[in-house]
Amino acid sequence: MTSTHVPRIEKSTNAPIIEEHRPTHSRLISVLGFTVGITAFVFVNVGGRLSIGEILCVPIAFVTIFSFGLRPTKYGLLLVAVTSLMVVGLTISSLSNGNSLAEAQAGIANYSVLALSAIGVASLLIYSKGRALTSLLLGAALGQIAGFYTSPTAEAVIDPWKFAIGWAVNVVVLIAAWQVFRRFRRRLPAAGIVLSLAALNVALGSRSAGVLVALSAIVFLLLGRTGTRRDRSFIALAAVIAVALFGATALYEAAAENGYFGAYAAQKLADQSGEYGLIFGARKELLFLIFAFVASPLIGWGAVARVPYDVRLPAYDSLAGGGYFFSTSDVDRLMLVDRLPLHSVALGAFVQAGIFALPLVLVLVALCVIAVRGTVRNDLGFATMLVVLGGFMHILISPLGDTTRIQVALALAVGMYVFSMDRKGGNRERTRTGIITPMPSRSSTR
């Protein structure tokens, strides 16, 4: 009986696995990604406040869309289509509600820059096969710190951690924690780093950031299996996120009520508590936006959302009747100021353009859901999950402004990237080095 020698396959724990055909332009794209990131929070006035990074993304997006050699993903084309519909609806609504041409143009530019920035960043990720992701995130983190010193917003001057450098510090620390988790395969130290960072955010007054930081790691720590391909169901992922959010919120409320975060946090929690939950106390604008959309669902109120007083009054009565506290500043900005604050990208789009905003909102949410699932399945890391969840949160409860626009664009870009990667098929897995490589077939390892 003859025996066949089967060569032994050694697993290397140190040598990186590199794709056989590494694109020659990937390093150049990574440098370009870092450049876009580091200038993403450095703003200039070009008829409106735009970042240099967004300006760089515009030609990249146009080259991607119109070049025969560089085809965008299915969702990139869809994003162009729904944004175009949003522009049409916003134009009709603005003209119908007596907005000036300049006011309409500002709203149109806001959504157009968002779409082009997302496509531009997605192009860098797709054509570098993900290698530009880390350099992009590190650049964006450094860029936010640079932007705080070169062109800070009024909010950033008042609360630097929450509106300026906090996001940057979170991204850098989570990139380091991911290396501990994946490269050195140390779950407990990684969890300790992340939980300490989450506690720091809460202590500095940024509750939502603290929850997102913790959640970014919880998803991987509970669903992740180091070194193997994961194909978890979306239901399990959604359940983990929901339970983690509920648990974190309940834990914070209990701690704040008992004074663990100080008297100010306890009083703030009491002021924001009411019949409809903490979310409507912390974001009173949401109920006002809902009432405004219901009052004009077809065409909305135009780019500047001049919603009449009698439309706002039922929202105020509902919140006041539900036990929510209104400060003088709350009354001024929600009831007396000419323009209603659009403190939600999704609801704000509905208020501005009515039903014309529906396709855009659906695509934004779909891309974020794809990004969350793809980040877990492809080991894109804690920092990427933070960016995706943060972008999703902005879509739900933050205005589409200069500082949030690029963060939403990053989340959408990750969604387009992972969708493109999944569509290309093949049994692929992201290694601990961050490089996508084809998995060997079963026959080759027997």
- pLDDT tens column, 376-407: 888 899 999 999 999 999 999 999 998 899 99
Q: In this predicted model, what pLDDT tens digit does every residue of 187-227 receive, in sequence order?
A: 788 888 998 999 899 888 888 898 899 888 887 777 655 43
The 8-class DSSP code of residue 162 comes to I
pLDDT of residue 445: 40
Q: What is the model's pTM?
A: 0.84
3-state SS assignment for residue 138: helix
The mean pLDDT value for 56-74 works out to 77
Q: Is 366 exposed, middle or buried, given 0-12, 13-18 or 19+ CB atoms closer than 10 A? A: middle
Q: How many CA atoms lie within 13 A of 428 on its CB side?
A: 21
The 8-class DSSP code of residue 15 comes to S
Distance CA 138, CA 325 (A): 40
> Which percentage of the chain shows pLDDT scores above 70?
80
Question: Phi/psi of residue 80, each to 5°?
Answer: -60, -45
The rounded mean pLDDT for the chain is 83
Sign of CA dihedral 72, 78, 81, 85: negative
DSSP code per residue over 357-371: GHHHHHHHHHHHHHH
pLDDT of residue 234: 60
Amino acid at 280: F
pLDDT of residue 77: 87
- Neighbouring-strand partners of residue 426: none
pLDDT of residue 204: 87
Least confident of 141-155, 228-242, 301-315, 351-365: 228-242
pLDDT of residue 231: 47
Q: In this predicted model, what pLDDT tens digit does every residue of 101-111 receive, in sequence order?
A: 888 999 999 99
Distance CA 191, CA 199 (A): 12
